[in-house]
Amino acid sequence: TITIPVGQSSGTATGAVTNDVYQGHAAVTNSITSVSGGNYENLIANQAPVSTAVTDVQDTTTVSLTATPSVAEGGQIVYTATLTNAAQSAVTVALSNGQTITIGANQTSGSVAVAAPADDPYLDAGQVSARITNVSGGNFENLAINSTAAVTTVSDTIDTSTVTLTATPSVTEGGTIVYTATVNAPVTG
């Protein structure tokens, strides 16, 4: 509402324009819908709209990756991509391990589960890492990637290797007994 004081020919009102993180900002348009008062003989509202262009300020939204901190060999690692602002449309996040995470519209995070390296009787596990390689969607003004890798420690499940001894079941006097030692996994070194 704008009030024009007695003895004046104009009045003002202000309106705030919100800042957001999304692309494009429509012009702000307004018009007079009704007028009253002023003691005029015939007061008519000019209803032609007025428009103000709004210049978009580039706000940054960042996407980061986290992972399950530790799992056992053969377990599952959950990678989660998180946005600092909710997406207007779906966001696709590509990872260095070939996986893809989708963050839905109006959401701030999405996840994907992948298998940790399988149990290996010869090698201790170690660490597995992934990072974001590409991101698209969301309708953000400026979408930045946090390049920090998400690291998971994969704990070794201790594998027992068993050595079994067998012998020739019977021999005649003066014969030779053959003893055989067998391990349930091939010897590597």
pTM score: 0.67
Cβ-contact 101, 77 below 8 angstroms: no
Of the chain, the percentage scoring pLDDT greater than 90 comes to: 58
Q: Which domain holds residue 150?
A: 60-155
Predicted local distance difference test score (pLDDT) of residue 84? 97
User: DSSP of 132-159, one letter per residue?
Assistant: EEEEEETTBSEEEE--PPEEEEEEPPPP
At 60, is the pLDDT very low, low, confident or very high (cuts 50, 70, 90)?
Answer: very high
Residue the block writes with tokens 């449309």: 89
Edge to edge, what strands does the sheet with 126-130 contain? Answer: 70-72, 150-155, 126-130
Position 72 in a domain: yes
Q: What distance in Å separates the CA atoms of residue 63 and residue 137, rounded to the nearest whole number?
A: 12
CATH number of the domain residue 79 falls in = 2.60.40.2030
Q: What are the pLDDT digits (tens) for 65-95? A: 999 999 998 899 999 999 999 999 999 999 9
Q: Which one is predicted more confidently, 51 or 80? A: 80
Q: Which one is predicted more confidently, 162 or 157? A: 162
Position 146 in a domain: yes
Least confident of 19-23, 93-97, 137-141, 161-165: 19-23
Closest of 185, 33, 46, 34 to residue 123, by C-alpha: 185
| pLDDT tops 90 at residue 155 | no
Number of domains in the chain: 1
At 6, is the pLDDT very low, low, confident or very high (cuts 50, 70, 90)?
Answer: very high
Q: What distance in Å separates the CA atoms of residue 93 and residue 133, rounded to the nearest whole number?
A: 8
Average pLDDT score over residue span 16-31: 81
Position 106 in a domain: yes
Structure tokens at 142: 């400026």
Position 127 in a domain: yes
Predicted local distance difference test score (pLDDT) of residue 88? 94
